[in-house]
Structure 1
Amino acid sequence: MKTRAVRMYGTRDLRLEEFELPEIREDEILVKVMSDSICMSTYKLAEQGKKHKRAPQNIDTNPVIIGHEFAGVIVEVGEKWKDQFKPGMKFAQQPALNYKGSLASPGYSYEFFGGACTYCIIPHEVMELGCLMPYEGDSFFEASLGEPMSCIIGGYHGNYHTNKRNHDLSVGTKPDGDIIILGGCGPMGLGAVSYGIQIENRPKRIVVTDIDDAKIERAREVIPEGKAAENGVELLYVNTAKMEDPVEGLRAITGGKGYDDVFVYIPNRKVAEMGDQLLAFDGCMNFFAGPTDNQFKGEINLYNVHYTSAHIMGTTGGNNDDLIEANDLAAKGKIEPAVMVTHVGGIDSIADATLNLPKIPGGKKLTYTQFDMPLTAIEDFGKLGESDPLFQKLDEVCKKNRGLWSAEAEQILFEHFGVEQ
């Protein structure tokens, strides 16, 4: 059958094309992709082309389908998997495969497997690893955002703390501790706040920093301090650009103790070094943001590593358990992946949005692959709605939901464009 897909041929060479998919083999599954959110990692892939560690060297002749944060419906199941999967089932998928040591991953490495398409073929290794998961949620976009949420959850689970009695490690963020998310008013940071205010070993305080008042105000709108307080967590948004001495000012919030868990959400040397200076005794700093420069460095206080049990580490991606947790929490309404989304578009918007991702303000760019639609900011729905009934409907739905995208808004798009689910 034919598919429409955004494929990468080389550095900054993305093309939306229609082509024929081969017949599936007995150990493969054909799926219809419904939603695909755009990740900064895909921008980094497009910038590096063949130099990217996950990209094959023959992409100029065998281009790969981009996109790895996707969800949809199973269309056809190969004989090997017919007892486990059925046509019509909704699916979510974990792209971090690590199959037999290979770095191959959907959206980076496969000719017929990726998210920026109408249909694709899921290869056998995905099912063998348990990375194709039945999904029961009301919306497809929350399953797409399950992947970035799983990365966030993996970060929380990856932090650790020690004690002076033995060599046992306490995995996860410190209960009743102080968390700071540096550069945390972007989409991933807001996902981290949404998760952090409801976790079982929840902290007593989460401080979120940024240097942009507009981003801070949006963060405050979608995750108000009062919402965190309902769960017993003090939530503070801080503009460090307005502080005479950010390190001193941020430490003062904790009474001078420092932070038990520090998350660095932007790949900025000064911010990373500040994170190191903010650590409490036995504090753990997670350098979460992935830099494009493989020589990215910063000065770390190794005296504190030795004498005050400071831990410096990093996490990337999530595992199957993290994705299952993300989808379960979203389905129960305990986390809101929608806080990450600021723009919505169709498949025709993916290539341009990916290539210009750092230049487009706001958070996550969510796309639906079964129709064409310009990438549109949710905050622009009202103005567009003055002359377009579709955007008028979308604006009304989003405004009653704190400006957030929702399953109801998604359904409006599907009905408008006649998309069968």
Structure 2
Amino acid sequence: MEFGLSEEEQMIRDTAARFAEQEAARRAAAADEAELFDRRSFDGMAELGFAALPWPEEAGGAGGGFAGFALALQELSRTSASLGSALWGHAYLAAGPLLRFGGAEAKRRHLGPLMAGTALGAGMLPGAASASSRLRAGAAARREGDAYVLEGQQGYVLGGAQADLFVVYAETAAEGGDGTVDGAGGARGDGSGTRRRKRYTALLLERDLPGLTVRPVTKKLGLRAAGMAHLTFEGCRVPAAYRLGREGRGAEVARTAAAGARCGLASVAAGLARGAADAALGYARARSQFGKPIAKHQAIAFLLADLETAADAARLLALQAAWRADAGEPDGGASALALRYAADAAMNAGIQAVQVYGGYGYMKEYPVERYMRDAKAVQMFTALDRLPRTRRGAGKGGERSG
């Protein structure tokens, strides 16, 4: 068993930490206040190779693997979870599905820009596109010649407000059907009352596609600078060459992306937990009461120790899930458990950091209230993906990790 980082992994972590402290941290508060995506920082990360970090070099990636990307996301999210989550969505919810399931034409035109970070990608959140949940697509598509005609909508697309490309999951007719799309209740629609199994197809959309409307979602509590958007489709004609995977097999695309997406989002949450814990510790060492730093008062000292323990546990769980993915081992629920634990740890760390700061923690002048708000957003995402926890509790989880 080896807990040390390789030379390459150490370089990735140090580079990400340096960039987060010197670049992203300077703009994080202003971007959050204005609800504007920090494209300048994203472009800087892309120049460092982070946009394609988890993917192999032969595919145009940086070859850092899931573990290397987890380390980068943790460091970036210590200062800006909005930036970390947008990078996560770009790599796992857009670039990954195109790399693994895209056809020759779609890859030729768009894989290079996505890997380079000159084009920004976005896709559905993991709770809506996971191995454990039914796809919650609000869009429907029908085949017309060499294109799919897309109608409907999809919400909560993280990074969508500024994205150039979108991965969308649309309900399509079941195989062997009459070419129509089932109704919301899944009924055949011919009066027979029988139900047909819903099927979904993954499609790649360009931002300037006629009929596509991108509406930024504003006035959010957390992840305000991540560029969340609501997409509306009105007769969008998507070339069949831009289908990802087989028709009606969108769930397979989502399922393949799910483990990486979960361990990536767990890394964002772990970074948040660490950022909040470090902020609480720094303030407690600087603030004095009764003749000594409040960090030396037992109640605060115990609290800080608990935050440190939880942040480190979240980090290790996320890295374990990433390591399993890199090694090709069965996920066994590791990524889902890492995400759940890290999200809860981040939420608690944010709340407790505000408490340690006292009245100052309630002010936007200090970062801890932002950590708390961002952690709640991540925790809300995981609420869509609680089934693995239920299965583990019932004794139905996967293999234990070594």
TM-score by length of 2: 0.30
Q: Which one has the bigger strand percentage?
A: 1
TM-score by length of 1: 0.29
Q: Which one has the bigger helix percentage?
A: 2
